[in-house]
Amino acid sequence: MSKLRKIHVVIIGCAACALVVAGLFFLVIKPANERIAKVEVELQKATEIADRLGADQRKLAQVKDDYNKQLTDYSRFMRAKMPAIAFADRPQGMIALWKEQAEVLGPMLERWPGKTGVRLLGEVKVPAAPTDPNAINTTLVQLDIGAFQVRGDFYTILRHVRRWKDFNRLVLLSPISISGQSPNMTASYNVTVFLVPSGEVGPTFQMASVAGASGTGASTGTGSVP
């Protein structure tokens, strides 16, 4: 009986150990393995996202660098080619445009051919400045200067045409016709000047108005053109 009891005890002990091990596996080890596998999947996804994020961050940095370079180039171009004209205050912007057309642009155009080695034939005629600040194109001012005629030898005329890109304003030349024989050749073309105002555009300006048909007087609005 004692032997049977010992065998029974051993069998029961082994069975109990097996149950404990099985319980540990199903209750602890298996859930832990499943959590580990899930975490590994999430880690892989996070790693892939981090890798893409690094590439995206490098791409973003490159785009920012390109943007800053373009902005710097544009600012340099504006300083070199554009006068200080802004229409946040429309009447003041119009006065600045008057000065540009009457005092600055005309003399610059007249001196330019001589600086490039050719001789200007005729006069430079800058169009009249606007008198209504509300009628000005505040995005792009286009000034049609009209016909230009210059004289020189063939190669000097070609150099003169190429050097318009160095002029202190943004210009557009029409197709050029050349006549005569070198060294007394004549080149003819039209010149258009473009001015790009800077800054935000202010509200329209209320112009002075004539009061009544009797001509007894005039009344002004919120302001008047200086």
Number of compact structural domains in the chain: 2
Secondary structure of residue 114 in the 3-state scheme: helix
Mean pLDDT of 23-50: 73
Cβ neighbours around 130 below 10 Å, total: 15
User: Which domain-ending residue is among 56, 81, 106?
Assistant: 81
Round to whole Å and give the CA distance between 139 and 194: 10
User: Which domain-ending residue is among 81, 98, 127?
Assistant: 81
The pLDDT tens digits of the residues spanning 93-146 come to 999 999 998 899 999 999 999 999 999 998 898 988 888 888 888 889 999 999
Q: Which domain holds residue 101?
A: 83-219
Identify the residue whose tokens are 């800054």.
Answer: 199
The pLDDT tens digits of the residues spanning 132-179 come to 888 888 889 999 999 999 999 999 999 999 999 999 999 999 999 999
CATH number where 145 lies: 3.30.70.60
Q: Enter the pTM of the model.
A: 0.64
Within this chain, do residues 61 and 98 fall inside the same structural domain, yes or no? no
Round to whole Å and give the CA distance between 173 and 78: 20
pLDDT bucket at 215, cuts 50 / 70 / 90: very low
Within this chain, do residues 46 and 74 fall inside the same structural domain, yes or no? yes
> 57 is written with which tokens?
């961050």
